[in-house]
Structure 1
C-alpha cells in the first residue's frame, strides 16, 4: 500500500533528480553561451532557416510573413528569432522558417526558387540529411537515394545558390541522431558529406552531432531527442546555442 509519506519521499527524490538534470543542462549550455559571439547583425538582415521536420517544428505553412510566431514553429528557428529580435530590436531583422517535414535534398531543390532564392536571405541556414537516409529505411523503402546522390544533389543546390545569391552567407548544419542501430550509423557518411561541402566551399558549419554527443553524460539521449531524431525543448535549446556560436550572432 502506498502511503502519503512514501509519496512525499518519492516526489522529493524525483524533484531532486530533475534539479540534477537541469543543473547539468545549465552547466553544459553555459559554456556554449559564454562562447557565443554577440556581433549585431546588419540592419535589415534577412535570415532564412531551411530543412526538414526538425526545422519545420510545427510551423503554420500558410503564414509566410517574417517574424510571425505561427510561421516560425516551436523549435530552434523560433528560439533564434526570439533571441535575435529581442537582442537587436533596432536592426529590423526579418527571420523566416521554410522547413518542411519529410524533406530531403531533392525536395529542397524542387521548391528552392520560391522558398529560398526569392527571399534573398543574407543568412541561409540549411539542415538536411536525416531523411535522405531515413526514407531509404522506412515508408516501404521507396526512396532509393544514396550517399553519392546526397552529395551530388546537395552540391548542385549550393552551387546554384552561390551563383544566384552571391552575397548570401550559407550555413551548413550537421545532420544528427542519437540512434545507434547499424542502419543509422550510416548517417555518419552523410555528416561527412555536409562537412566536406562546407569546407570545400568555405561555408559556415554548425556541428550539431558533436553538440548532442557532448551532453549525453548530463542526461540520457531521450532527454535531448525524444525519438533519436527530433529534439525535445532541451534539444532545441542546445541547437540554438550551438547555431549561434557557429554563426556568431
Structure 2
C-alpha cells in the first residue's frame, strides 16, 4: 500500500495529498522538471535495510546510544534523514523496512572510510545513501585541511569500490553536496565548490548510482523564500530546508 493511499484511507489527508510538502506548496511542483536520474531507482522490498551516511547535515544530532535501533526517532536525528525515513516507513508500511543514520558531524570522505566497516559494512544495507563533500571543501578555507577536489573524488571512488567489493548487491545513492549563498558561504566558495558538486555527479554516473540533486532543489526553492529560510548559515538546513531535502530524496529514490 502506498503512503498516499494509506493516509487517504486512514483519514490523515485527502487522497492526492502529501505529507512533506502540501498539495498547495509552491515548491513541490519544481521537483522532477529538471531532474535527470543517472540510474534506475533502487528496489525497496520487504526487510530492506536503508543506511544514511554523511556529515553533520545527515547527523543532525542523532543519538549514538540508540545507533543500533532501526527506525528509532533519536537514532535517526532531527534532519532530512529522519524525515525521509518517515516517508519511507509510511510508503512501505507493510514491508518491515529498517532505516539507520550513521552520519557524523565534521566528517570528510576519508573519515567515512576510516569507520566504514563498523558504520556501513556490518549493517549490510540494501540501499546506501551518502551525502558528503561540503567539509571536504569548507575545511580548506580555514580549518587547516589541505585536500583538493581531486583527493575528494579519488577517495570517494575508493570508498564506493570498497563498498561494492564487500556488499556487491547494494544500491548506492549519491547525494549532491550543496550550499546556499548566505551565512558562512560567500564568494570565496566559488567556483571551487562547484567542482565538488560536479565530482559527486561523476561518481554517481560512473557507478550508475541514483543521484539526488540537492543544489537544484535549493536553487529552485530560493525563488520563493530567501536562502536564510532554507539554511541560515548557508550549510546546515533549517527545518524547512531539511523537509525540502527529504522531499527531493524521496522523489529521486522512491518515486
TM-score, with normalisation over the residues of structure 2? 0.82
Instruction: Tell me how far 1:197 sits from its aligned partner.
Output: 0.9
Deviation per CA, 1:85-125: give whole Å up to 9, x if none.
12322100000000000000010000000100110101000
More helix, by proportion = 1
Instruction: Tell me how far 1:27 sits from its aligned partner.
Output: 1.5
CA distance in 1, matches of 2:236, 2:119: 23
CA distance in 2, matches of 1:129, 1:110: 16
Give me the CA root mean square deviation.
2.5
Q: Which has the larger radius of gyration?
A: 1
Contact 1:44 1:91 in 2 (8 A): yes
Instruction: Tell me how far 1:32 sits from its aligned partner.
Output: 3.5
Contact 1:25 1:218 in 2 (8 A): no
CA distance in 1, matches of 2:239, 2:190: 23
Q: Which runs of 5+ in 1 are unaligned?
A: 1-21
Distance 1:125 1:39, change over 3 A: closer
Q: Which runs of 4+ in 1 moved over 3 A?
A: 22-25, 30-35
Distance 1:191 1:31, change over 3 A: closer
Instruction: Tell me how far 1:25 sits from its aligned partner.
Output: 8.3
Question: Does residue 125 of structure 2 align to residue 126 of structure 1?
Answer: no
Question: Does residue 226 of structure 2 align to residue 220 of structure 1?
Answer: yes
Distance 1:28 1:224, change over 3 A: same
Contact 1:33 1:241 in 2 (8 A): no
CA distance in 2, matches of 1:34, 1:52: 28
Contact 2:131 2:175 in 1 (8 A): yes
Match of 1:59 among 62, 65, 68: 62
What residue is the counterpart of 1:150 in the other structure?
152
Deviation per CA, 1:175-204: give whole Å up to 9, x if none.
000134123431100001000111111111
TM-score, with normalisation over the residues of structure 1? 0.84
Contact 1:57 1:75 in 2 (8 A): yes
Instruction: Tell me how far 1:156 sits from its aligned partner.
Output: 0.3
Deviation per CA, 1:63-103: give whole Å up to 9, x if none.
11111111000011111111111232210000000000000
Question: Structure 1 stretch 40-49 or stretch 219-228: which is displaced more?
Answer: 40-49
Contact 1:40 1:88 in 2 (8 A): no
Written as runs of structure 1 = structure 2, the 5 A alignment for 1:51-130 is 51-64=54-67, 65-130=69-134
Distance 1:67 1:99, change over 3 A: same
Contact 2:131 2:174 in 1 (8 A): yes
Instruction: Tell me how far 1:31 sits from its aligned partner.
Output: 5.0
Q: How many residues align?
A: 226
Contact 2:124 2:167 in 1 (8 A): yes
Q: Which runs of 5+ in 2 are unaligned?
A: 1-20, 35-40
CA distance in 2, matches of 1:211, 1:25: 17
